[in-house]
Amino acid sequence: MTNAANSLIGAKFNKKQSLNQTISTDFANTTPAISLVSLDLPTGRQALTSQILPKTFNEILPTKVDNTDTKTEIASKALYTQPSERITGFTCLSNGTFVLVSTALTKNGNYSKLLFFDRRSSKSKKISGFKKSNCTIESLVATKDDKLIGIASLNGGIPPFEMVIINPQNGKVSTDSDLVLPELPPDRRFSNLALSPDEKIYGTTLGVEGVPRLIQLDLDNRSMITNKGNIVTLSPLTFDKQPLHNDLLSLTFSPSGKAYALANPKHEATNSLFSVDIETGEMTPMSKVAVDKITFSRN
| 12-43: pLDDT as tens digits | 998 655 445 444 579 999 999 999 999 888 75
Q: How far is it, in rounded angstroms, from Cα 117 to Cα 102?
A: 13
Q: What is the pLDDT of residue 243?
A: 95
Q: What is the pLDDT of residue 1?
A: 35
Q: What is the pLDDT of residue 134?
A: 96
Q: What is the pLDDT of residue 139?
A: 98
Q: How far is it, in rounded angstroms, from Cα 156 to Cα 137?
A: 9
Q: How far is it, in rounded angstroms, from Cα 177 to Cα 188?
A: 23
| 137-170: pLDDT as tens digits | 999 999 999 999 999 999 988 999 999 999 999 9
Give 177-223 as a DSSP string: -TT-PPP--TTSEEEEEEE-TTS-EEEEEE-TT---EEEEEE-SS--
Q: What is the pLDDT of residue 14?
A: 83
**Residue 192: which of 174, 216, 176 has the closest Cα?**
216
Q: What is the pLDDT of residue 87?
A: 97
Q: What is the pLDDT of residue 54?
A: 65
pTM: 0.92
Q: What is the pLDDT of residue 90?
A: 98
Domains defined along the chain, listed by start = 8-64+74-296 (2.120.10)
Rounded to the nearest 10 degrees, how much is the dihedral formed by the CA atoms of 153, 138, 27, 19? 140
Q: What is the pLDDT of residue 17?
A: 53
Q: What is the pLDDT of residue 58?
A: 87
Q: How far is it, in rounded angstroms, from Cα 33 to Cα 241?
A: 38
* pLDDT lower than 70: segments of the chain: 1-6, 15-24, 43-54, 56
